[in-house]
Amino acid sequence: MNIGLIGSGGREHALCKKLNDSKHVSRIFCFPGNAGTSEIATNVSVDILNFKKILKFIKLLKIKIVIVGPEEPLVKGIVDFLKKNNISVFGPSKFASQLEGSKAFMKKICAQNNIPTAKFKICTKIKDVDNFLKNSNFPVVVKADGLAAGKGVSICKTKSQVYKISSSIFNGKFKSSKKLVLEEYLDGEEASYFLVVDKNNYKFFGSAQDHKRVYEKDRGPNTGGMGAYSPAPIINKILEKKIIEKIVLPTLNALKKKKKPYSGFLYVGLMIKNGEPFLIEYNIRMGDPECQVILPRLETDLFKIITNAIKNKLKKINIKWKRSKSMTIVLCSKGYPNKYKNNRPIRNINKVVLSKNDFIYHAGTKFNHNQLFSNGGRVLNVTSVGANFRNIRKKIISMIKKLNWKDGFYRKDIGWRVIN
C-alpha cells in the first residue's frame, strides 16, 4: 500500500523510518520530506498548506492513506479537506485541532470540565492584563493564543516584561492570533504523555521528557526542543490513572458531547506537582523531538496501529513496547532559536557507524548535488536506545563528536534529571 506522509522534520523522518519497517507498506511519499526521508521514501516538493495540490499528488501517486505530521496543516483543516475528497487520513479534525491551535479554546475546555490546570485569563486587550495581574504573584506565564512554532510562551518575572510581551502579541507578533492567555506559574516537573485515539477508544503511546530551553541548566529562551528521553520515570501507574481520569477522559468526552470526537495522536503536556498532574498544553500530533525517542521503543507495527485507528478499531490492537530506554540530542545551527545560517555543509555523517539501536533522524537538512546541507534551526536528532540513560547519552555525544559539524551546537546535559 502507498502511504503519504506530510511534514519535513525529525518527527516525520522517524515516522517514515518506522512505517518503512512494515511489510504492509509498499511506498512512502513525503510532502515535502527532507534529506533523511529521501533515502527511504520519495520526496514530493509541495507547500504543506496547499491542500489542493497535495490532493492532486495523492490521486496521481495512488496513495491510500495519508498521515499528517505537523500541527499547522491540521489546525488549518487538512483532515476535513481530504475526508471530503474521500481520502483516508490519520489526524484530528479542524475543530478538534483547536486543542493546540487555540490556547483559549483549550483553557475553556478545562474550565468547563474541571480539568486541573493553572489559573488563567484569556486576554484581548491591555485592560484584561491589568485585571489578571492585580491578583497574581510572579512569575506569570504569557502564552500566545495561536500557533507559534514553540516560541509563543514566555515566563515573566516583572510587570514590565508581561506588558512588553503582551503588547507585541496584541500588535500581531504571531500571525495566528492577536489574543493571549495569562497563567499562574506552576512549579514542578514537566512530562509528556502520548495517546493514539480513535472515535471510540484510546491507547497509551509512550511517555517522554523534553528539554525546551536552548542552553544547559535549562537557561535561555524556549525552543522547539533540544532533546528528550523516554520513558518518563516520573509517570508511574498511580499518576497515569490520575492523568487519564482527571485530564484525558474529560477532554475526549467534552469533544464527543460536541459531536466532534478526537482521532489521531494526542500529546498531553503536563506539570507534575506534589504527585498531581496539571495540564499545561495539548498538542494534536506527536511531539518533536519526543517522537524520535518513542518510536525506537515501539515493537508493534506502526502501520497497523494507524490503520486500526482510522477504522475506529483501536480496541482490537495490543501495542507492545521494548523495555529499553531511549534518548535523542538535537544538533542545531549556531544562533538558533534566533538568527542562523542555512546551507552549511555536513560532511561527516557517513563516518558515523550506526548499530541497530542508533539513529540519526534528519530535521532541517537537504541534499544538493549529493552533498548534505543544513536547512533549518534544528538540523539532526542523534538518537540511541539502551539499558540506562547515562550510557546512552555518552554514546550519543560520541556520535556527535564524530560528526564534527563546526556550524552546530547541542546541549550536553540532556537527561540531567535521570542521570545526575
The model's pLDDT over 103-140, given as tens digits with 9 standing for 90+, comes to 999 999 999 999 999 999 999 999 999 999 998 999 99
pLDDT at 377 over 90: yes
Specify the CATH number for the domain of residue 304.
Answer: 3.30.470.20
The model's pLDDT over 252-301, given as tens digits with 9 standing for 90+, comes to 999 999 999 999 999 999 999 999 999 999 999 999 999 999 999 999 99
Q: Are residues 306 and 202 in the same domain?
A: yes
End-to-end CA distance of the chain: 46
Whether 33 is in a domain gets the answer yes
Q: Are residues 165 and 194 in the same domain?
A: no
Whether 74 is in a domain gets the answer yes
Q: Are residues 153 and 250 in the same domain?
A: no
Whether 61 is in a domain gets the answer yes
Residue 178: the pLDDT is 86
Question: Around 333, how many Cα atoms within 13 Å sit in the side-chain half-sphere?
Answer: 22
Residue 266: the pLDDT is 98
Residue 31: the pLDDT is 98
Cα–Cα nearest to 293, from 381, 216, 379: 381
Is the separation of the CB atoms in 9 and 70 below 8 Å?
A: yes
Is the separation of the CB atoms in 345 and 368 below 8 Å?
A: no
The model's pLDDT over 40-98, given as tens digits with 9 standing for 90+, comes to 999 999 999 999 999 999 999 999 999 999 999 999 999 999 999 999 999 999 999 99
Q: Are residues 250 and 269 in the same domain?
A: yes
What confidence category does residue 175 fall into, taking pLDDT thresholds of 50, 70 and 90?
confident
What is the count of structural domains for the chain?
A: 4
Q: Are residues 311 and 331 in the same domain?
A: no
Specify the CATH number for the domain of residue 339.
Answer: 3.90.600.10
pLDDT at 153 over 90: no
Whether 99 is in a domain gets the answer no
Specify the CATH number for the domain of residue 34.
Answer: 3.40.50.20
Rounded Cα gap, residues 175 and 218, in angstroms = 28
Last residue of a domain, one of 91, 110, 136: 91
Q: Are residues 355 and 306 in the same domain?
A: no
Mean pLDDT, range 23-40, rounded to an integer: 97
Q: Are residues 180 and 202 in the same domain?
A: no
Last residue of a domain, one of 139, 163, 184: 184
Whether 102 is in a domain gets the answer no
Whether 137 is in a domain gets the answer yes
The model's pLDDT over 198-253, given as tens digits with 9 standing for 90+, comes to 999 999 999 999 999 999 999 998 888 999 999 999 999 999 999 999 999 999 99
Q: Are residues 391 and 368 in the same domain?
A: yes
Q: Are residues 287 and 238 in the same domain?
A: yes
pLDDT at 149 over 80: no
Rounded to the nearest 10°, the torsion over CA 133, 139, 145, 149 is: 160
Q: Are residues 35 and 140 in the same domain?
A: no
Specify the CATH number for the domain of residue 152.
Answer: 3.30.1490.20
Residue 173: the pLDDT is 87
Q: Are residues 305 and 226 in the same domain?
A: yes
pLDDT at 307 over 80: yes
Whether 104 is in a domain gets the answer no
Q: Are residues 222 and 299 in the same domain?
A: yes
Residue 344: the pLDDT is 97
Q: Is the pTM of this model over 0.85?
A: yes
| Average pLDDT in the chain | 95
Cα angle vertex 154, ends 74, 168, to 5°? 85
Last residue of a domain, one of 163, 184, 205: 184
User: Domain containing 266: what range?
Assistant: 189-316
Residue 385: the pLDDT is 98
Rounded Cα gap, residues 228 and 329, in angstroms = 7
Q: Quickly count: other Cβ atoms within 10 Å of residue 258's Cβ.
A: 11
Whether 106 is in a domain gets the answer no
Residue 246: the pLDDT is 98
